[in-house]
Structure 1
Amino acid sequence: MKQLDYYFWMNSDWAYLGADRLAQMAQDHGVQVHYKPVDLLSVYARTGGIPLFQRSEQRQEYRQQELRRWMARLGIHINVTPKFMCPDASLASRMLIAAEQMGYAVAKLHKDILAAQWCHDQDISEVSVLLDVAGHLGLPGDEMVLRAESSDIALRYQDYTDEAVSAGVFGSPSYVFEREVFWGQDRLDFLGQALANQTLASVQR
């Protein structure tokens, strides 16, 4: 089975916009997606990125314009300035890692945590919010949060962040397939073509 590393920030509006298409693409092409949440501020610090609130007014305004364009194209609505914008996402990230280690599929959990912030004006740094998301999916939130607070999960979160930088990642969402980086949900078409090309090459051998 083809393997794809997906590096993302649990505060990423763009990751939310790309979530359904990534899941569908994985199904269509028979690819296993490894969900790897990262500390994007650490990635920025090592790769020259600028946190949103430190960017110029022009860049912040353009981000909102682009979000509205993509919302219209995809038929997906988000609040471009949510009530709780980019809170500490470390617990949410570690909870996702814990869920995967416990054997649960995490695509829906990943999307619903993003939706909590960008669609429902919830603070994803709050344990109660994360437990509510897990509960709606029928997942053992208490156990996942407990495991998320362990040192081994914290280390895995750091490892994913280091691994992302080593792979050439500098923003969220980023998809790495066959050592090639595709940055942004607006590059999913290119990723899909790369997956299709490998499938075709395999058939022709």
Structure 2
Amino acid sequence: MKPSHLDYYFWLNSDWAYLGADRLEALARRQNVAIHYKPVDLPDVYARTGGVLLGQRSRERQDYRVAELRRWCRKLGVPVNPHPAHMCPNADQASRIVIAADLQGLPVAALYKAILHAEWCEDRDISSEPTLREIAAAQGLDADALLRAAAAPDIERRYRQYTDEAVAAGAFGSPSYVYAGELFWGQDRLEMLEEAIAAA
């Protein structure tokens, strides 16, 4: 039987998740599969899987990231600032807000994309609670209620659970997609992900 969903592990600071977001949604519609949105604590994932945070990487690796990011932006027609004013701040609260919204059945895709857009296209600080309130309100959501829900201990537990699940599934970066037990890392693997879903 064809699995009816895919697990999507992503960081709320991931420029690559932002570049793949719309294409992932389109893929899911074409293949009639649900997306289980699972924000993760990527620094924790890195610490457990041998990853290195961007600022700690060699200059060569940092420069190549910028070159590759610009290529993908041109290819997709999606502008991204490789060096935003607030680059990769703490994303824990943003992650909990997305999880809380998802559990309430709110439009989680639009919300998480708006958070990523704020960082990578608008130079906004997504670790700032006022910024997150503004983003939620701009999506037509009750920002106060959503932030209260996001502060609940069970949301933090679920955030840690998603992070543990990602590592258990073999994920080591963002975005990571898991379908029928098979891991696909990176928005540049979306075509292969779709082929696997179609073949199932």
Aligned to 1:202: none
Q: Distance in 2 between matches of 1:117 and 1:9?
A: 12
2:91 counterpart letter in structure 1: A
Superposition TM-score, scaled by structure 2 size: 0.97
Structure 1 portions without partners, runs of 5+: 199-205
Q: Distance in 2 between matches of 1:197 and 1:38?
A: 28
Identity over aligned residues, as a percent? Answer: 56
Query: In the TM superposition, what is the alpha-carbon distance from 1:105 to its structure 2 partner?
Result: 2.5
2:59 pairs, out of 57, 60, 71, with 57
1:176 matched to 2:146? The reply is no
Aligned to 2:100: 98
Residue correspondence of structure 1 range 101-112 to structure 2 within 5 A: 101-112=103-114
Secondary structure of 1:119's counterpart equals helix
Q: Distance in 1 between matches of 2:68 and 2:57?
A: 15
Residue correspondence of structure 1 range 1-205 to structure 2 within 5 A: 2-198=4-200
1:158 counterpart letter in structure 2: R
Q: Distance in 1 between matches of 2:142 and 2:7?
A: 25
Q: Deviations over 1:105-160 (max 9, x none)?
A: 31111111000000000000111111111111111111111111111101100000
Q: Distance in 1 between matches of 2:109 and 2:96?
A: 14
1:190 counterpart letter in structure 2: M
Q: Distance in 2 between matches of 1:2 and 1:75?
A: 30
Q: Deviations over 1:3-60 (max 9, x none)?
A: 1000000000000000000011111111100000000000001101000000000000
Pairs aligned (count): 198
Query: In the TM superposition, what is the alpha-carbon distance from 1:68 to its structure 2 partner?
Result: 0.3
